[in-house]
Chain A
Amino acid sequence: NAGVTQTPKFQVLKTGQSMTLQCAQDMNHEYMSWYRQDPGMGLRLIHYSVGAGITDQGEVPNGYNVSRSTTEDFPLRLLSAAPSQTSVYFCASTEGVQSYGYTFGSGTRLTVV
């Protein structure tokens, strides 16, 4: 049981490049979400999914796309990276959004130059 696995751990992009941050969980959790964390700030919700085939926007969705084709995977896509997207990204999942704590991955540190 690996929990929530994020890849890559580190990434440097040039402005305008695109990339996909991977997130996979092996706990059969229906709910998955992506957060970004900037220095001195809490985590802000980017996108979330309540199950395969269902996604919705969080607090800061602009510049990011997501899809949920399987229960296990929830990739986050940056279509055209900008320096403002330099951040640490965390993926999380939970069995039940109203009753259970969320399990977080170890994060992806992204730098856009």
Chain B
Amino acid sequence: GENVGLHLPTLSVQEGDNSIINCAYSNSASDYFIWYKQESGKGPQFIIDIRSNMDKRQGQRVTVLLNKTVKHLSLQIAATQPGDSAVYFCAENRASGAGSYQLTFGKGTKLSVIP
């Protein structure tokens, strides 16, 4: 079946190092991808997005890379800080028929930053 998943469920990173969170997707028709950060007890928070006609997009301390050939998405966080500790989800937006779209989430990666 089609899914959006993550290679690693947990990731521990030393403060100041760079973090890389990976995501695999299988629906080649997906044209829009989003990374969310979810802190404990809160709703998902938008981090960065990328459209399928791009392979890289940068934000403040974050970069998203999209490799359509292998259907792989990654989130890079530069100079990881304790406040970056959270669960990170990738999500793909794909058509569900009749002009509608649905956002499908992966299971998430828990990032822990070691002070």
- Chain A residues near B (Cβ < 8 Å): 4, 33, 35, 40-45, 48, 50, 56, 58-59, 90, 92, 97-107
Contact = CB atoms under 8 A, between A and B. Distances in A.
Q: Name the prevailing secondary structure of the B interface residues.
A: strand
A104 B102 contact: no
Given A90-B44, A104-B43, A42 B100 contact: no
Interface stretch (B14-22, B74-82, B103-111): B103-111
Contact of A42 (B49, B99, B108): B108
B45 A42 contact: no
Interface of B: 4, 31-32, 34, 36, 41-46, 49, 51, 89, 91, 93, 96, 99-108
Nearest to B89: A42
Nearest to A106: B43
